[in-house]
Amino acid sequence: MPKIVVTKEEWIEKGIGNFAVGGADALLIEKMARELGCSKSSFYWYFGDREQFIRCLVDEWVRRATYEVMQCSLMEQSVDARIKVLLTSMFSTHTGKDFVYYLRRMGQENFQYRDLLEKVENDRIDFMTSLLVERGFPQEKAISLATVIYHFYLGWYERNKYLGPTANADQLTALLWEYVIQTEGGIE
């Protein structure tokens, strides 16, 4: 039987998927190797140990779920378009899984993951704040609105996370735009 070569990226994809449905307890190397159709030695070729693997998964999730979303919104010319792209991305990218929940749980026992998640959430709020300031909001008002928007997102996500991808991202973006951003005194 030919040897099946599995890439580091395939291991990371598998790990992110497993972590999002069961946390670190779902990262069983031998089981994932069977599911990928390879030997577990390929895992150790890419990752020194399970903890290094978990850190790679978390770093990749952070990159995709935060910094890629920010970069995508920066491709837009106007600040209004950047805000709308960001909001739409926030409400259209969930998969019916819960990476954040398991990362938050892991952070209860490991301060490094707690601090990392806090940094990511602060970066998200800071990014939205910067867009709102660019739109014309005073700094303090922008911070308050960005925090409200992020907490609205967390509540929405918690309520809808197991429903899978939703088609109402545009509706939620329009709702936030009308009742939070326009109503609260941004420049029109």
What is 117-144 written as a DSSP string? Answer: HHHHHHHHHHHHHHHHHHHT--HHHHHH
Task: Place 1 in a pLDDT band, splitting at 50, 70 and 90.
Answer: very low
Task: Place 10 in a pLDDT band, splitting at 50, 70 and 90.
Answer: very high
Cβ contact 4:87 at 8 Å:
no
Q: Which residues have a Cβ under 8 Å from the Cβ of 63 and sit 6 or more positions away? A: none
d(CA 78, CA 135): 9
Pick the CATH number of 8-182 from 1.10.357.10, 3.40.50.720, 3.40.50.150, 3.30.160.340: 1.10.357.10
Which comes out higher in pLDDT, residue 146 or 174?
Answer: 146
pLDDT confidence of residue 188: 45
User: For residues 47, 49, 53 and 56, what is the CA-based torsion angle, rounded to 10 degrees?
Assistant: -70
Length of the chain: 188
Which comes out higher in pLDDT, residue 183 or 110?
Answer: 110
pLDDT confidence of residue 94: 63
Q: What percent of the chain stands above pLDDT 90?
A: 69
Q: Indicate whether 167 pLDDT > 90.
A: no
Mean pLDDT (whole number) for 151-171? 77
Which comes out higher in pLDDT, residue 61 or 98?
Answer: 61
**Summary mean pLDDT of the chain:** 89
Mean pLDDT (whole number) for 5-17? 94
Give the residue carrying structure tokens 């805000």.
83
Which comes out higher in pLDDT, residue 4 or 181?
Answer: 181
> Each residue of 47-75: b (16+ CB within 10 Å) or e?
beeeeebbebbbeebbeebbeebbeebee
Task: Place 178 in a pLDDT band, splitting at 50, 70 and 90.
Answer: confident
Q: Encode pLDDT of 65-107 as tens digits.
A: 999 999 999 999 999 999 999 999 888 866 657 899 999 999 9
**Whole-model pTM over 0.85:** yes
Cβ contact 180:162 at 8 Å:
no
Q: Indicate whether 168 pLDDT > 90.
A: no
pLDDT confidence of residue 62: 95
